[in-house]
Amino acid sequence: NNFAPRVGIAWKPFDKTVVRAGYGINYNTGAYETIAQQLAFQPPFDIAETNIQPSPGALTLQNGFPTPAAGLITNNFAIDPNYRMGYVQIRNLDIQQQLRSTLIMNVDYTGTKGTDLNNLVSPNGGLAGIRIANAQAFTWQTSQAYSSANAGSVRLRKRLQKGVSIGGTYTFSKSMDDASSIGGGGSVVAQNPFDIGAERGLSAFDQRHKFTADYLWELPFGHDKYWLSAKTPWRAIFGDWEWSGDWSLASGMPLTPRVLGDFTDVSRGTNGTIRADVVPAQPFTVANPSIGEWFNTAAFTAPPTGQYGDARRNSIEGPGSLLFDMAFTKLFPLGEMRMLELRASASNIFNHPQFAAIDTTVNSPTFGRVIEAAPMRTIQMTARFRF
């Protein structure tokens, strides 16, 4: 089994047009490693006990490891005996058109379909409590999740000519699943183990809009350039400079409104799987998102005790990104076969704040606030000698 074919075709219908298409199947082979690690850290290979002190002084080293009740199953992880390795089918169509001798445009479509993906449930714990009396709450890993994603992109690339090259790509995409076990974001335990369909929502890595671009400009001063080509002190200072950089603008990835510390949730061995309830007639967004309130916190509330929340998974749009990187490179030719390169590069050169995390826990005092930022501007100096 696990047949993983690859097929591709390239066709040139016109002199300056190339059409490429492909299809392939990829398997999530790393899943078995995770399963083996989970099974190894529980009985009979590993035993862990949790002892509660009912009164002061009741917990001592003498009775620190009491004998477990006969017949009690303390394992906290199980695997579906019918578990199947998840796989993703990828299809792609790309049309490349040469607009000019150094200007290329690509229009691309990529679609993916995930089947038998990992998902986690806690079947021994429900709203009424433990279902199997002689077993504690445990996580059950199975392969019932599915995903679908579609992305279209337009790419323009001007090849290096007269010391200048530039390119950019805009991508519009949407990805949905009921467990983001392939593509990033990881798997989380389903809220209701008997209603996997309720987990259907945007993928944790869904990013609707993204634009990236890069450029390189070899300044017209120095060796073999229009100005300062003669061997002078001015060429040594102002010649052979390169200016390059890239920038990225992207919309935010989705987040899930949830509840921490819910009694029903904790009693089944999980925490944070219960989602919030949606307040009717309240919009999720605010006109001007800020650090203090990134979304409308009045749109969500904790569900009544003993009930599941009705908010969809990944229903809050997270913060986007706006990132500019820049670099300056100075070249020192030292003959035909040797060169010294000095480079100063800056990441996030304009020091624009990049918000990395929003608190989406409804019973948290910082609910709706920005709680983490990505690294600010960094500058790196490098020297390279080529020979």
pLDDT given at position 235: 80
Predicted local distance difference test score (pLDDT) of residue 125:
73
Q: Whose CA is closest to 23, among 9, 3, 7, 11?
A: 7
pLDDT at 51: 66
Query: Across the strands, what pairs with 20?
Result: 10, 94
CA dist., res. 297 & res. 285, Å (int) = 9
Q: Are 358 and 294 in contact (CB under 8 A)?
A: yes
- The H or E element spanning position 118 is strand 103-121
Q: What is the pLDDT of residues 344-363, one digit of tens each?
A: 999 999 999 999 999 999 99
Return the pLDDT at 262. Answer: 81
Q: How far apart are CA 59 and CA 55, in angstroms?
A: 8
Q: Which residues of the chain have pLDDT under 70?
A: 48-52, 63-69, 126-129, 181-187
What pLDDT does 184 receive?
A: 46
Listed in order, strand segments (DSSP E) in 162-287 are 164-177, 201-202, 209-218, 241-250, 254-255, 277-278
Tell me what pLDDT residue 202 has. Answer: 93
| Count of C-beta atoms within a 10 Å radius of residue 47 | 12
Tell me what pLDDT residue 185 has.
47
- Output the pLDDT for position 28: 82
